[in-house]
């Protein structure tokens, strides 16, 4: 019997990807990484989708890697390489998604779960959430790409503290150091994420995706505009989204942007 450990549903312009192994606290095995990548690909290819949400079933985001699979997989160097590459490729696909991504977090968000959350543009959590990156407790370490995403979110000093100790910490601390963007009571998390996603969906998708690309260029090390960037910026003034935005502004109404 095939188990769907990751699945996606869509409501309007929002796709929600569910980590779905609640009996194991959504512990991540290699099949889940593959299915996560497939779901991201589907959401990216669907022109109706404007925002991608990632969440976990059973009141837990993800409690990290499947330690039982560690024992089986990582005794075989070839299998270990395949598992590491699959994890890397899945996270990279989510991180490089062209559409805005939001992690909706309840309960444990630890290890690989925190890695997935860090691949999202924004992280919204409720007060039940608990965070940690625990390779130091296993004799392992985070890859450079994983570590960079953590450093980009919280800065090098906080990242060192999290990585050196492998400690688990509460949602309020995660919020105070910038690891999460919004912190709510449990009963408000769904509405908070839905309202925010609706706000993003109502904005110019041309602007949203272009802005996401510029932020990513900065995170990748760019410090100034190339001629091609300036050309794209100038061209936006003759684009359909700007035409609609300008007319709506002048008419004092909500814009109805054509781009998706």
Domain residue extents for the chain: 6-200, 204-250
> Per residue in 177-202, is it b (16+ CB within 10 Å) or e — as a string?
bebbbbbbeeeebeebbbebbeebbe
For the stretch 20-25, contacts whose Cβ atoms lie closer than 8 Å and that sit 24 or more positions apart, written own/partner, are 20/57, 21/57, 22/56, 22/57, 22/58, 22/59, 22/60, 23/58, 24/63, 24/66, 25/58, 25/60, 25/62, 25/63, 25/107, 25/108
| 3-state class (DSSP) for residue 84 | helix
Q: What pLDDT shows up at residue 34?
A: 96
Residues 6+ apart with CB under 8 A from 12: 201
pLDDT along the chain (260 residues), means of 10: 81 98 95 96 97 98 85 73 92 98 98 97 98 93 95 98 98 98 98 98 96 97 94 94 94 86
Pick from 127, 196, 126, 119: nearest CA to 153 = 119
- Strand, helix or coil for residue 38: helix
pLDDT of residue 214: 97
The pTM assigned to this predicted structure is 0.95
> 204-250 belongs to which homologous superfamily?
Lyase 2-enoyl-coa Hydratase, Chain  A, domain 2 (1.10.12.10)
User: What pLDDT, in 10s, does the model give residues 42-71?
Assistant: 999 999 999 999 999 999 999 998 877 766
CATH number of 6-200: 3.90.226.10
């Amino acid at each position: 019997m095939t188990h769907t450990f990751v699945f996606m549903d869509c409501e309007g312009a929002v796709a929600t990807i569910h980590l779905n192994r609640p009996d194991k606290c959504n512990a991540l095995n290699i099949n889940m990484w593959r299915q996560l990548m497939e779901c991201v690909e589907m959401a990216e290819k669907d022109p109706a989708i404007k925002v991608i949400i990632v969440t976990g079933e059973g009141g837990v985001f993800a409690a990290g890697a499947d330690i039982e699979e560690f024992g089986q997989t990582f005794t075989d160097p070839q299998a270990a390489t395949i598992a590491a590459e699959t994890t890397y490729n899945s996270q990279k696909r989510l991180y490089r998604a062209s559409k805005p991504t939001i992690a909706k977090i309840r309960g444990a968000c630890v290890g690989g779960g925190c890695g997935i959350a860090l691949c999202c543009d924004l992280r919204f959590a409720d007060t039940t959430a608990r965070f940690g990156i625990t390779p130091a407790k296993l004799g392992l370490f985070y890859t450079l790409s994983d570590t960079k995403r953590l450093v980009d979110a919280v800065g090098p000093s906080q990242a060192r503290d999290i990585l050196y100790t492998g400690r688990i910490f509460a949602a309020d601390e995660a919020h105070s150091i910038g690891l999460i963007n919004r912190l709510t009571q449990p009963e408000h998390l769904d509405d908070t994420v839905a309202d925010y996603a609706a706000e993003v969906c109502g904005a110019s998708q041309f602007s949203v995706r272009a802005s996401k690309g510029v932020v990513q260029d900065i995170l990748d090390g760019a410090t100034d505009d190339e001629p091609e960037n300036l050309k794209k910026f100038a061209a936006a003034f003759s684009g359909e989204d700007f035409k609609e935005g300008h007319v709506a502004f002048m008419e004092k109404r909500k814009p109805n942007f054509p781009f998706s």
